[in-house]
Copies of this chain bind each other. A is one copy, B any other.
Amino acid sequence: MGIIRKTKSVELLLDIFSQNSNALSVVNLVKKTKNQMNKTTVYRILERMESEGVVHSFNDINGNKWYAKCHSCSSDNHLDSHPHFQCKDCGAIECLSVEIAIPKVPNFQIDSAEIMLVGTCRNCSIV
C-alpha cells in the first residue's frame, strides 16, 4: 500500500505509542502533539499507520476515534477480534488480550465484531 516515510511527525507518533500501553484517542494525540504538527497530519499519519497494520482503530462509547498498537494485526487483517475496555469514570481504554469468538447468529453473515466492555478500571475503583 502506501509508502511510509520516516518523518519527524511519524517518529513522534510511533514514540508516543511505544510509551503507552493503553489506547489513545485522536483528540488526545492531537492535543499532545499540537506544538509539533498540525491536526490534519495526525489524522493522516494514523490512517497510514493503520493501513500498514501498525495500529488499529475503533470508536469509544462517545463516538470518538481511538488508536492502539497492534499486536496481531497485519496489513491484510486488522481484525483482531479482541475486546476493548473503557473505564466510565476516567475514560481510559485498554485492549484486552482475551480472544473473543465472534458470536454466531443464525441467518447473519458476520465478518467482524466490535466489542466494548464498560466498567471501572483499577485506578478508579480504588478511590
**Which residues of A come within 8 Å of B, CB atoms?**
59, 61-65, 83, 85, 88, 96, 98, 100, 102-103, 105, 107-122, 125
Say how many copies of this protein the assembly contains. Answer: 2
Q: Are B109 and A88 in contact (CB under 8 A)?
A: no
Q: Are A83 and B103 in contact (CB under 8 A)?
A: yes
Q: Which residue of B lies closest to A63 (CB)?
A: B63
Q: Are B114 and A61 in contact (CB under 8 A)?
A: yes
Q: Are B105 and A85 in contact (CB under 8 A)?
A: yes
User: A97: shortest Cβ distance to chain B, in Å?
Assistant: 9
A117-B98 contact, Cβ under 8 Å, with A59-B61, A64-B63, A109-B125: no
Q: Which residue of B lies closest to A96 (CB)?
A: B105
